[in-house]
Amino acid sequence: MVTLVFSVTATGILSDLWSKEWKTLQLSLQVTAPFLHVAAVSLMAVLSWPTALHFFRMNKRVRQVVVLGLYLSVLFSLYLVPLGMYSPCIKEAGTLGPAPALIGHRGAPMLAPENTLMSFEKAVEAGGEGLETDVTISYDGVPFLMHDSTLRRTTNIAEVFPNRTHLDASMFTWAELQQLNAGSWFLSRDPFGTASSLSEVDRSQAQNQSVPSLAQFLEVAAASSKLVLFDLRRPPHGHPYRRSYINTTLKVIQAHINSSQVLWLPSEDRQLVYGLDPELQQTSGVKASIQQLTDDHISRLNLHYSTMSQQQICKYQSVNISTNLYVISQPWLYTLAWCAGAQSVTTNSVHILSGITKPLFLMTAEEYTLMWILTDFVSAFFIFAIFTFHW
């Protein structure tokens, strides 16, 4: 009873904590389903030897019927699994869309410190078609790049301002932010295990990165004609730009890049923003009805990959609403997004995904049908031969 209660409790807790991971497992089963079916049937064929051996050694017919019935039930169930199988990478020839565009998540964080100019330049060099970042406003009104609410993780604030490490990042002036190092942490903590593969030149450059302003970031994107996607965090109470942070950000955008290159994600005052700059590509982080999205002038959705659905992506695409999925860094997950029809993905590994020229598990329905029939036929013949040998 203690073991049962512990197991049920642990399963419940893990299901809650790992809800997205369970969804990832489901997605992986979708993309690998045809090959898992072949593996499962092959395993049953291997198990036919010990099953047949024990079947013919049993003296009681009831036990023989139970063993053989159980084995054949599982086997025939596996034979019929493809009838109800769904995999987006089983497609008719010529129906596969273009590869999703790659948007560098905080640049190229596997090759350089996240949200630094070096990181964005690396993403551009690797073939990224867009750049994603996070923006907040300094105490004196300068929009700058920082993902976390504090500066502890990605700067050396503990050395420069040891008594202010707990403060919100937006409570520092731009001059104070420029005193911080935003790259040394990357080499010491090595978040992706890639720092050791950097050249000496890259290591030296990473070591000396600073906190960039939004203006500097936009200049990199404008020079390379890349799309820009960013979250905009509202400053806390007591901040002098808490009410005007959106207008402050819009002014910087209009001064440094073509507005049509910007995927505007913040939902606050969206209608006001559209009225001030209709060239911005209005982007929503939540799914909604087509009517609501159209009323809000949404042209792109920015959704977590766990919500991936080929049917919904196609539905939105039919009314010219693109879908961007985040954060996709594994080739198999990129394959699934490609087969599902996503127009773009946000990724930590632009340098890896840019080298994928076709989905990893793509096949036509005819190819899979042939694989299914051959697998079932060969396994059935093998199992029959095993039982005949033991008999």
113-126 exposure pattern, b = at least 16 Cβ within 10 A, e = fewer = bbbbbbbbbbbbeb
Say whether pLDDT at 15 is over 70: no
Is the pLDDT at 357 greater than 90, yes or no?
yes
Residue 356, CB-side half-sphere exposure with 13 Å CA sphere: 26
pLDDT tens readout for residues 72-115: 999 999 998 888 878 888 888 889 999 999 999 999 999 999 99
Q: What is the pLDDT of residue 6?
A: 81
pLDDT class of 16 with cuts at 50, 70, 90: low
Give me the pLDDT at residue 93, please: 83
- Tell me how far apart the alpha carbons of residues 56 and 142 are, in angstroms, rounded to a whole number: 81
pLDDT in tens, 112-135: 999 999 999 999 999 999 999 999
Please say whether the beta carbons of 284 and 263 come within 8 A: no
Residue, of 305 and 27, whose pLDDT is higher: 305
Number of Cβ within a 10 Å radius of residue 56 = 11
pLDDT at residue 305 above 80?
yes
Binned at pLDDT 50, 70 and 90, residue 18 comes out as low
Q: Confidence class of residue 21 from pLDDT cuts 50, 70 and 90?
A: low
Helix, strand, coil abundance in the chain, percent, nearest 5: 55, 10, 35
Q: Structural domains in the chain?
A: 1-91+363-390 (no CATH), 101-354 (3.20.20.190)
**pTM of this structure:** 0.87
Only one residue has tokens 């936009």, namely: 218
